[in-house]
């Protein structure tokens, strides 16, 4: 009888384990650009200084031909599998979400912007 009870809990517990797990954020790096922030950017009018105040410092800055440039804002979020009791299996079946936003400047004003798929 005792063996049957343990077998029952083992089977039920193993069946519920995947259902009880969830993904929780374990790491966030960079600046995530939102649609509300994008609506504030006006082509030909928004300056590099305006972008710094709106979005913060970019992950990369490149100068092109002295009067132009490229700003790249990169954001990464890693979510790890979390088991009941709070144990996180970092590195085991992690989910990663990335966003890269590129802005092209000419004469210190925004000429274009886009999201880059990675």
Average pLDDT score over the chain: 84
Whole-angstrom CA distances from 95 to 74, 76, 104 are: 17, 11, 30
**Residue 15 above 50 pLDDT?**
no
Which CATH number is associated with domain 21-116? 3.30.1450
What are the pLDDT digits (tens) for 52-91?
999 999 999 998 877 789 999 999 998 888 888 877 777 7
**Selected residue with higher pLDDT from 1 and 14:** 1
Q: Taking the CB of residue 106, how many other CB atoms lie within 10 A of it?
A: 14
Please state the rounded mean pLDDT for residues 82-101.
84
pLDDT of residue 1: 60
**What is the model's pTM?**
0.72
Per-domain residue ranges of the chain: 21-116
């Amino acid at each position: 009888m005792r063996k049957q009870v343990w077998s029952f809990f083992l089977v039920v517990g193993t069946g519920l384990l995947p259902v009880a797990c969830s993904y929780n954020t374990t790491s966030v790096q960079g600046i995530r650009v939102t649609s509300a922030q994008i609506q504030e950017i006006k082509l030909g009018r928004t300056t590099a200084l305006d972008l710094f105040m709106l979005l913060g410092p970019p992950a990369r800055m490149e100068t092109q031909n002295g009067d132009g440039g490229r700003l790249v804002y990169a954001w990464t979020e890693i979510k790890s599998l979390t088991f009941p009791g709070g144990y996180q299996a970092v590195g085991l079946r992690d989910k990663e979400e990335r966003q890269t936003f590129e802005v092209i400047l000419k004469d210190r004003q925004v000429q274009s912007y886009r999201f880059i798929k990675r």
